[in-house]
Amino acid sequence: MITALSTIFVLGVLIFVHELGHFLLAKKAGIRVDKFSLGFPPSIFSRKFGETQYSIGAIPLGGFVKMAGENPDEEATGAPYEYMSKSIATRAAVIIAGPFTNFLVAWLILWGLFLFQGEAVTDPDHAVIGMVVEGNPADQAGLMTDDIVKSINGTPVAGFSEMAVLISKEVEKPITIVWEREGREMSATVTTMAEEAYNEQGEKIYQGRIGVGWRVEYHSLGFFGAAYKSFVVVIDFVDKIVRFIWDLVSLKVSVKMIGGPVFIAKMAGQTAQLGFSALLFFMSFLSVNLAILNILPIPMLDGGHLVFLLVEKIKGSPLTVNQRMIAQQVGLVFLLLLIVFVTYNDIVRFISG
């Protein structure tokens, strides 16, 4: 239930704000909007207000804004309210408005988190335990919250990340942990658990775990500090996503690493169990991800429409109806194949645990 509700919430909000960006700027530009839909058919709700039909589809994996004269199979009349009657710059702005809104929402979410919750800070010099999972190896060893791990198998650790790296290499093997509690040194030997993960080639690997989390403290950033920090994090999201896409294209990373709807639902459920702030952070990352994917130069996506406008600008006239329809069909087939592939990836990951 948590997974289902969190998935509907995350996808519903992000799709809504994306389409709302297109909708509002189209209205501002004087373009008639015939339909505003969240989700894809069959429709479970439909109502017309003014000149626009508003609907909710049963398949919550996207949405669309249908503008007058936008589709290549429509007969253009040259009416001033039609999409094709507007300048290239105006049409480009309407297209960009969707991804831009997703970037803006990601920034606003993060701003709210940093403003009201503060910035999460960990001790860079000490491996301080913030949480111990009951029944796991760390719990069996006697580790407790606020304990400071000093060494793993005799190797000193200066931070939680160093400790995690050392433990991850020891899969279902005994390790000796030395820690400090209120000035007293303690030690124990336990056997690590095996946790499934995937490498850059999409191959399943196993890592050692003992069931601990690091201690986090929240530092207030203030109004403007939170605004700046959220901007920095959005840029970091962009950098990570673009690098991942480039690694996919250059075959440095396996396509098995791509996640789809099932993966998103799983992540939404897991982050929701960690708390609403964790779900919002995941939501902001997904919003940036949605924005970047939509501006890829693929027909049917916003980036594909921008390519059409660029070609129109260069050649001095729009693509013919037949050219646009062929491009749209190619883009649709590509996206359908991609959806099938990523869903297959998700199912394989789900079955394998």
Q: Are 14 and 287 in contact (CB under 8 A)?
A: yes
Q: How many residues does the chain have?
A: 353
Beta strand ranges found along 192-303 (DSSP E): 193-198, 204-209, 212-214, 217-219
pLDDT in tens, 46-79: 899 989 999 988 877 788 899 998 876 677 778 8
pTM for this model (two decimals): 0.84
> Buried b vs exposed e over 326-338: b needs ≥16 C-beta within 10 Å?
ebbeebeeeeeee
DSSP lists the bridge partners of residue 43 as: 57
The domain locations on the chain are 2-117+268-351, 123-215
Q: What are the residues facing 196 on neighbouring strands?
A: 206
The predicted pLDDT at position 234 comes to: 97
Active site members: 19
Q: Is the dihedral of CA 29, 35, 37, 41 positive or negative?
A: negative
Cα angle, residue 129 at apex, residues 123 and 130 outer, rounded to 5°: 90
Question: What pLDDT does 107 receive?
Answer: 97
Q: Which secondary-structure segment (H or E) carries 120?
A: strand 119-121
Structure tokens at 123: 């001790």
Predicted local distance difference test score (pLDDT) of residue 111:
96
Measured at the alpha carbon of residue 93, what is the angle toward residues 295 and 22, in degrees to the nearest 5?
75
Q: Which residues of the chain have pLDDT under 50?
A: none
Structure tokens of 50?
């003014």
pLDDT at 58: 81
User: What is the Cα–Cα distance from 222 to 303, expressed in whole angstroms?
Assistant: 36
CA 34 to the chain's CA centroid: 30
Contact between 61 and 261 under an 8 Å Cβ cutoff? The reply is yes
pLDDT computed for residue 168 by the predictor: 92
Angstrom distance (rounded) from CA 23 to CA 95 = 10
In the block, residue with structure tokens 């508003």:
54
Determine the pLDDT at residue 201.
Answer: 66
Q: Positive or negative, the Cα torsion across 303, 308, 309, 314?
A: positive
Q: Please state which CATH number belongs to domain 123-215.
A: 2.30.42.10
Give the pLDDT score at 91: 95
Kind plus residue range of the DSSP H or E element containing 277: helix 276-294
